[in-house]
Amino acid sequence: MKFKRFLRFRHLKNQLLLQNALSISLIIGLTAITTYSIAIKIQVKEAIRYNTVMVVQISKSIDNMVESFNRVMDGVTFNNDVQKTLPAAYENSKEKNFLNKHLLSKITDETIMFDEVDLVYLYDTEGLRVNLRRSVNNNNYDFLNKLRPEIYDSHGKVTWSVEKSVITANRMIYDIHAYNMKAIGYLTMSMDKSYLTERIQKFDPTEERHIIILDKENNVVMSNSNDKELSAVTSWLSNSTKHLANSDTTIEIPGSGKMIVNNYQSELTGWKIISLISLDEISEGPALIGKTVFLIGIIAFIIGIIIIWISTNYIVRPLNKLSLVMDEVEKDNFNVQLQIDRSDELGRVGESFNRMMNKINNLISDIYQKDINEKDAQLRALRAQINPHFLYNTLDTINWMAQFGESAEVSKMTTSLSRLLKKSITNNGEFIRLEEEINYIDDYMTIQKIRFQDRIHYSVNVEPAAKNCLVPKLILQPIVENAMIHGIEKKIGNGFIMINGKIKNNKLHIEVLDNGVGMDEDKVVTLSEGRYVNLDENKGTGNGILNVQNRIRLLFGDDNGIKIESNSNVGTLFELILPIQKEGD
């Protein structure tokens, strides 16, 4: 309740200000949210597209390097001198050193043009023969001095591995002159990481992305970052890469938040090239756009409120004058005039109001008052109509019964008639409860049952909820009287009249049913339309039904009234439909 009252502004200016402020705020908010949403979607889509292209390009570049390595290894493997010297027998260490120097010179010749090659280890089937280190560093590579045949492919295919941060290409050397795949030695060459780093930086010079290269066993081959965050990312990827191909393009990494991931696996090496970029970094641009739009919106909001304040004052000022004048009219002061010196719609409203007040002053004393008096007189006339034939017949019956000495029946009939007359002339309001109206009908039917003896049967069935509903006074008597005169009296044999009352569809429905002679369809249609029909030339004019219909419509409108259903020689049903009214409403 308090919230509703809070929204009920007393002044139109405040309503206009609030409505326009809400509209501007809604437009600014929707614009900022829509702009940010579209920008972030475009940014993410572009980042994914660029990442995909970049990862593929890096992979192709690495594949080119790998192919160069393969060519170098082919040169060493298929070198005729290497093929002859490596399996050659030697008698002593002197001969072995001589052969090793010869092998070293051949390997140097084959690899001298390829700067990507860092270490070269050549083994025969027994152990190490040549150890060539091209870079100058203090790293320990003793783990390469021992021959490990299990790391080489038995068919002579180049395999790649990462061990102690050393990237190596491994290949078995077999005798090309033999018909079978006879192994005569093994070749291991390492890649200089600086060349791999250069190729990555070539495609990602900004270093905004984390580029991680993993081998088949998910060992880190290469990474462009060594900080703690990247270590956590690398650890997570090492455990999750097997599911990476089926994952979404956006992943949640503990400690790093949401990141966009793209990956590509090389067919030559089996390496996975993975690109990671933080979604927060991508969102910086759209967030800046959103903040800018929001700031512009705040400025526009302030300017808009100032403009609206000025314009609403200009609009509302004449309406305030009109409100003050109408307050005077409400106090029955019809001589006021409205002064609005404008040529727009509000000015024309002021002129129209002044003309209207002049007309009201001219009409209120005669036309309006005359119409009220006429309707009031019409209602009183409709309510006061009682059929004089009924009074004559009742008094005549009392006279004959008195002459025959039926004093009890005379007393009963006289009492009922006196109550009828008392209720019809008593001015106790326009409306009475349905239960009181039924009591009035009971008195009327008591007289009729005495007049017609055992020919008349009468019953009432009214729901308890309907009894307390208010109805126009004497609304049922003309209906019941019509049923008696034009239905039951003409019928040969016994007749009955039944009155039902109920509430249905939020309306009060009162039914008066008789088994009289009924009416044809033309008379039913004429009465339903509210037109006069002469039901019996000898007994009454037949306008009692019309009086009730007109009275109901005058009081409640055309959506209420009487519905009539009748069949000749079967009976008639009158259904009164009234609005539900209770005492105190």
109-118 pLDDT, tens digit each:
888 888 778 8
Provide the pLDDT for residue 304. Answer: 76
List the structure tokens of 141. Answer: 């590579």
Provide the pLDDT for residue 575. Answer: 92
Place of tokens 């036309």: 367
CA distance 267 to 290: 43
Percentage of the chain beyond pLDDT 70 is 76
Give the type of residue at 241: T
435-490 pLDDT, tens per residue? Answer: 988 988 888 888 888 877 778 889 999 999 999 999 988 888 888 888 888 888 88
Q: How far is CA 418 from the centre of its chain?
A: 69
Is residue 122 within 8 Å of 108, Cβ to Cβ?
Answer: no
Provide the pLDDT for residue 5. Answer: 46
**Most confidently predicted of 56-60, 186-190, 548-552:** 186-190
533-566 pLDDT, tens per residue? Answer: 665 554 544 567 888 888 888 888 888 888 999 8
Beta strands in 209-343 (DSSP E): 210-214, 220-223, 250-253, 257-265, 272-278
CA distance 262 to 467: 82
Provide the pLDDT for residue 246. Answer: 45
CA distance 97 to 92: 9
CA distance 491 to 479: 17
Q: pTM value?
A: 0.44
Provide the pLDDT for residue 3. Answer: 44
Is residue 71 within 8 Å of 116, Cβ to Cβ?
Answer: no
Beta strands in 201-254 (DSSP E): 210-214, 220-223, 250-253
CA distance 533 to 527: 7
List the structure tokens of 208. Answer: 């905004």
Give the closest residue to 383 by CA, choosing from 460, 293, 473, 459.
Answer: 473
Provide the pLDDT for residue 34. Answer: 80
Give the closest residue to 192 by CA, choosing from 135, 113, 132.
Answer: 135
Q: How far is CA 579 from the centre of its chain?
A: 39
List the structure tokens of 45. Answer: 């889509």
Provide the pLDDT for residue 191. Answer: 82
Axis-axis angle for helices 388-403, 407-425 (nearest 10): 160
Provide the pLDDT for residue 576. Answer: 92
Q: What angle do CA 126, 132, 134 make, to 5 degrees?
A: 160
Provide the pLDDT for residue 30. Answer: 79
The pLDDT of 385-410, averaged and rounded, is 67
Diameter of the chain measured on Cα atoms: 173
The pLDDT of 337-357, averaged and rounded, is 72
Percentage of the chain beyond pLDDT 90 is 7
173-186 pLDDT, tens per residue? Answer: 888 887 777 888 99
List the structure tokens of 22. Answer: 């809400």
Provide the pLDDT for residue 207. Answer: 57
234 CB neighbour count, 10 Å cutoff? 20
On average, the pLDDT of the chain sits at: 77
The answer on pLDDT for 502 being more than 90 is yes
Rounded (to 5) percent helix, strand, coil in the chain: 55, 20, 25
Residue with more model confidence, 37 or 159 = 159
Provide the pLDDT for residue 533. Answer: 62
Of the given ranges (44-58, 106-120, 245-259), which has the lowest mean pLDDT?
245-259
The answer on pLDDT for 509 being more than 90 is yes
The pLDDT of 121-145, averaged and rounded, is 83
Q: Which residues pair with 499 in a beta bridge?
A: 460, 512
Residue with more model confidence, 539 or 496 = 496
The confidence band for 427, taking pLDDT boundaries of 50, 70 and 90, is: low
The answer on pLDDT for 6 being more than 50 is no
The pLDDT of 149-173, averaged and rounded, is 85
Q: Which residues pair with 514 in a beta bridge?
A: 497, 572
CA distance 548 to 482: 11
Tell me, what DSSP letter sits at residue 495?
E
476 CB neighbour count, 10 Å cutoff? 23
The pLDDT of 405-433, averaged and rounded, is 74
Give the closest residue to 260 by CA, choosing from 55, 491, 489.
Answer: 55
Axis-axis angle for helices 407-425, 434-452 (nearest 10): 150
Residue with more model confidence, 1 or 474 = 474
Q: Sheet harboring 495-504: ordered strands across?
A: 456-462, 495-504, 507-514, 571-579, 561-567
241 CB neighbour count, 10 Å cutoff? 17
Count Cβ neighbours within 10 Å for each residue of 2-16 and write b for 16 or more, e otherwise: eeeeeeeeeeebeeb
Strand 495-504 and strand 456-462: pairing? parallel
The answer on pLDDT for 361 being more than 50 is yes
CA distance 204 to 55: 10
Provide the pLDDT for residue 396. Answer: 66
**Most confidently predicted of 242-246, 389-393, 569-573:** 569-573
The pLDDT of 484-497, averaged and rounded, is 84
198-251 pLDDT, tens per residue? Answer: 777 776 655 567 777 777 777 777 776 655 556 666 666 666 554 454 444 666
Provide the pLDDT for residue 540. Answer: 46
The answer on pLDDT for 158 being more than 60 is yes
Strand 220-223 and strand 159-163: pairing? unpaired
